[in-house]
Amino acid sequence: MLSTREEIKSALDAYHSYIAANSRRALETLIPIIANWVPAEDDDTTEKEVPLLRLKSLNRLVDYRPVIRRLSDPTEVLTRWDELVPLLELDGVRRFRLPGLDEEEDEDGVRHPLAVLADQEYRELKFNEYIAVVEAALKDRVLEEARGTVAFPEELRILFELGVDGLNGIGLQIWRGMFGCAFWDGLGQGNLEDVASRVQVPDTKIEDEKQFAWRYTTGSEYGGQIFDTIPQLLDYYQGYEQYSMDYYVGDYANEEDLFPPGLL
């Protein structure tokens, strides 16, 4: 049975709160070390470079330079928490971005456009493109008996309307690539052909199986989980690999790991 909009919003609010609280605990441990760092006496880092290195250390954790480069001090993430959580995706929600007008120069002198959050009109345009491609691929590949009724999951439409363009899960970005996963990328960085190629459907139906319906799954080398509704998945996913993430926070709580050689 599909969840109502109210049930999905309630589960999403709990997911937001749980992951944001975990992110804050992590950064309350790590940011003071970063903010108070000073180079060793035999280090040739100049006084002018110290604030930049502190921000670069912070950016290694959250991996979003367009926001971090505009801060004057790492502690601003904590003092401006409510404002910066969605921008830095510290609540486990991925938000659709596109290149903006401003640029920044990287270490090699190459200029790149800074990403900005997409406005609602552009989000809807890209999301509708995404739905059209997914539904076309479904109708082309699904079993004949489901072809007339198969459609994009209504629960994912509701998530989109609630401001969700993807789900990152728990943990800081530096470790998500090792232990986390993105349940739903949306359009991500690929093109529409990439989206279509990822659509898979069953090629047979066993008589004792449930009726055709959308279900949601997570998978890893150790097994997987299947959920009938988005609220069930969010409840499970908000703590997925939390032990590993929390372990790494403690493991990184030292200047050697937060300021590795070559950071500048």
Please tell me the predicted confidence (pLDDT) of residue 107.
57
pLDDT digits (tens, 9 = 90+) for 131-142: 898 898 888 887
Domain boundaries, the chain: 5-258
Distance CA 43, CA 61 (A): 23
What is the chain's mean pLDDT, rounded? 85
Q: Which residue has the higher pLDDT, 158 or 203?
A: 158
Which of 28-32, 115-119, 136-140 shows the lowest mean pLDDT across its residues?
115-119
Beta strands in 15-110 (DSSP E): 93-94, 97-105
pLDDT digits (tens, 9 = 90+) for 170-184: 999 999 876 655 666
| Residue for token pair 């349940």 | 183
Residue % of the chain over a pLDDT of 90: 44
Burial class for 210, CB neighbours closer than 10 Å (0-12, 13-18, 19+): exposed
Distance CA 175, CA 168 (A): 11
Distance CA 140, CA 147 (A): 8
Is the pLDDT score of 259 beyond 80?
yes
Contact status, residue 100 vs residue 113, Cβ threshold 8 Å: yes
Please tell me the predicted confidence (pLDDT) of residue 120.
83
pLDDT digits (tens, 9 = 90+) for 65-94: 878 888 999 999 999 999 999 989 999 998
Please tell me the predicted confidence (pLDDT) of residue 44.
84
Count how many residues are written for the chain: 264
| Residue for token pair 């991996």 | 63
